[in-house]
Amino acid sequence: MSEWKAGGQAMVDIVEINGPSALIRRHGTKDHRTDVVRSDVFRPLPTDPHQALKDAVIAAAGEVRTTAPVTDGRLRAIIKMFYAIDALTAAQNPPKLDPVEVFYQVTDGQSTCGPYGWKHCKDTRDVCYCRNNIASGLAAVEAARGAK
């Protein structure tokens, strides 16, 4: 039975790309067997937006471990490590978005109907600009809440 499931990712080496087709080989092998696939199936792997900060924390921790005890260099390394940890923590826990600000940015401040406009919008829901602006703003606020 295969350990692969739909939606999984597999690594291959791209040997050659010829227009609409690509020649691929199983990753990490010197196997001469190759397969041909359409080249438009390839897309970049997602990257971790916090990887550089994680690397900085690991490097700073390593510097603390390798610096001789009771020296100014060790103290500087410890401070550097704490700064790196603080930056990583802040990046992974961004400040919460203000729902009113999100709403206003999406609607460009054109979100409200006057009394006449609102009466008109009751009859023409699908084409009412202010009703559509309000709906867009509320959708953006819900999306921002879901992106915690």
> What DSSP string describes 33-81?
--EEEEGGG--PPP--TTHHHHHHHHHHHHHHHHSPSSSHHHHHHHHHH
Where are the chain's structural domains?
A: 12-41, 51-92, 99-146
Number of CB atoms found within 10 A of residue 23's CB:
15
Would you place residue 1 in the very low, low, confident or very high pLDDT band (cuts 50, 70, 90)? very low
Q: Tell me how far apart the alpha carbons of residues 100 and 108 are, in angstroms, rounded to a whole number.
A: 12
Beta bridge partners of 24: 14, 35
Averaged pLDDT for residues 92-106: 75
Average pLDDT over residues 95-101: 76
Instruction: Tell whether the model's pLDDT for residue 49 goes beyond 80.
Output: no
Structure confidence at residue 51 (pLDDT): 83
86-100 average pLDDT score: 78
pLDDT per position as a tens digit, 55-77: 888 888 777 777 666 677 778 87
**C-alpha span between 37 and 41 (Å, rounded):** 8
Q: pLDDT > 70: what percent of the chain?
A: 79
Q: Average pLDDT for residues 25-47, to the nearest whole number?
A: 77
Its pTM stands at 0.34
* Average pLDDT in the chain: 75
Flag whether pLDDT at 147 surpasses 70.
no
Is 6 a residue whose pLDDT tops 50? yes
Q: How many angstroms separate the CA atoms of 87 and 53, rounded?
A: 7
